[in-house]
Structure 1
Amino acid sequence: MTRPALVLAALAAGALPARPDTPPPVLALTGLDPVALAAGTETPGKEGIEATYGRFTYRFASEANKAAFLARPGERAVQFGGACGRMGPFSGTGNPARFHVHDGRIYLFASEACRDSFKRDPDKHVEQPNPAPQGTADEKARGARLVERALDGFGGAKAVDALRTLSRVEKVVYTQGGTETAGTARSVWAFPDAVRTEESFGTPYGHVVTRDGGFEFLGQKDWALEPAMRADAWRRALREPLVLLRNRAAPGFVAVARGPNTVEVALAGATSTWTLDEKTGRVVRAEFRARRGTVGDNAVVFADFRAVNGVVLPHKRTESFDGKEITAPARRVEALEANGEVKAELFVRPK
């Protein structure tokens, strides 16, 4: 079940909590030792030889296996923070007893159908960081000039570098069984490296990424983001052209020209190919490989550019996946704000 469907179901059942609450950890893998399981053996763990990581408590057959787990928990714990392996990070939670091992890593699943789909083609469900683009010295020099053109398209390097905050509010409409349910999607960036993304249908859910970590929330429940989840969320943020440009001074930023008005840009495992308008330098199209249900080719077309507090922002975006336009859910930009006041507590995990 997708996260929007989970929220709607929880609202209907009155199942969301009435007060802030971090749920207690759940026993993972019915108590099987995750280190042994990743190596191909279903070995029961022992009570008293345990470790908690993220949402789960793990049991181990030996202290040596526990030590091996704690040395690299991001690899040996269940992946995606326990979200369904077919639906990916920030989706519905998988069943701790329904798992599959792929390439030495353990994934949970919400249903047998999800597990079967994953097993048929795991690579369609496991998103890897994008490789950084390669190019000649000349291509990199032309790439740097195209980045300057893109900055001009957003209002100039000075305006972009002065950007402190950016927020976008969208109306989102899901249609289920002929019934429309309207909600709000909100993304807030506090530069250089904090972002909050949420949707709400009366009750908010989403995630926050900061320099030091981050957290995921659903209603008034919240969980710390594991490192791999944080990296995934940060890659999502960097696929916004303006966010990437605002972070272009960060170590590892790469820009390589691929044509007169085309540049491939990358940072922190997020690689995109931008098409610039020949006259204005505006980024009118961004292409990247990422997950949307499955891993595939994404494209975003930007239009209706307007000046907002000194920065030029697109107010319309059309998205496609593997060559097909995405029409569900329906989205419409309701508001864009640059350098507005943003409350610091938006990025702080509730105590």
Structure 2
Amino acid sequence: MPIYNFNAGPSALPYPVIEEAKKSMFDYQNSELSVLEMSHRGPIYEEIHYGALNKVRSLLKVPDEFEILFLQGGASLQFAMLPMNFLTNEKKAAYILSGSWSEKAFQEASRIGETYELASTKADNYRAIPFVPLDQCSQDTSYIHLTSNNTIFGTQWISYPNNKFAPICVDASSDIFSKTLDWGNIDLLYAGAQKNAGPSGVTIVILRKSFMEQANKDIPKILSYETHVKTDSLYHTPPTGSIYLLGLVMNWIEEQGGVAAMEKFAAEKASLLYSAIDNSDGFYKGHALKDSRSTMNVTFNLPSKELEQKFVKIAEEKGFIGLKGHRSVGGLRASIYNAVPKEHVETLVDFMESFLKEHK
């Protein structure tokens, strides 16, 4: 029976990446060494490391005035690392709350320095992306933080606020490489790799050089962005296997036509699911408002919890995994990251339509 992987993360890897890893990961270039056991200071791994960094820059069209890092600890470490570097005693940090992960980032920063909530849609259970009153931004704001895509609630930013009021810092963990980016309004972007960029274990951080110059120098070296910039993300042993697989994913994205092609595919897949929801006469009800809908995580509910449980049970029997919604929202969630084939989404839509006919 085929498996249709709609997990929210770690998520599906492209099939060609898995096949290539099977062939080369455990005897890389006939070296009789696996990527996991070779020295990260050696020439073979350096080729992997710098190759992956360069592919990230190329695919995302990152300007030269930005540094690119491969770090560890996931996005959750960045919740602390960002304010440790940029939230100094005389400054405040502004947070835009659009879901659970933005809340966690806000809470972590609040343990380090003074923060404030600039905008939020929590009162409506995060069904939409907030309107951001930038004119209310405090003059002593060190940065504005937002989460670009909200996996639990199924909402996504179409464009980011203007950074003329304060530097914009973005957690793009769940939609990086799924859409083109305007670097003019981004000063720091970070993303755990395990949705669209590779396996868990490596975090991409992209930061503007002029912004980094403002960083706090009085913190542990391991938590300083400057430390990792100066050592090309080789200050300590990097997650070599994860970076190798990330590089393979970068190659795969390039072969598909790059990030612009991924954006087109994402819109097509999301349109299939949202059409099934919108044309169900209310049987399927989307959680996110239409102008805030995510192309990565499609969240919806059925008329009762009993039907939702039945939907998940029958779906699992047919090979669909990862469709149970997060407890914050309940219902169902289909995560359709880059590596999820359009054919799998079409098969899910067919199942949704047949389930509707049998249970309406």
Q: Shorter-chain TM-score: what band?
A: under 0.3
Report the TM-score, using the length of structure 2 for normalisation.
Answer: 0.24
- Decide which structure has greater helix share: 2
Report the TM-score, using the length of structure 1 for normalisation.
Answer: 0.25
Q: Which has the higher contact order (CA 8 A, sep 6+)?
A: 2
- Decide which structure has greater strand share: 1
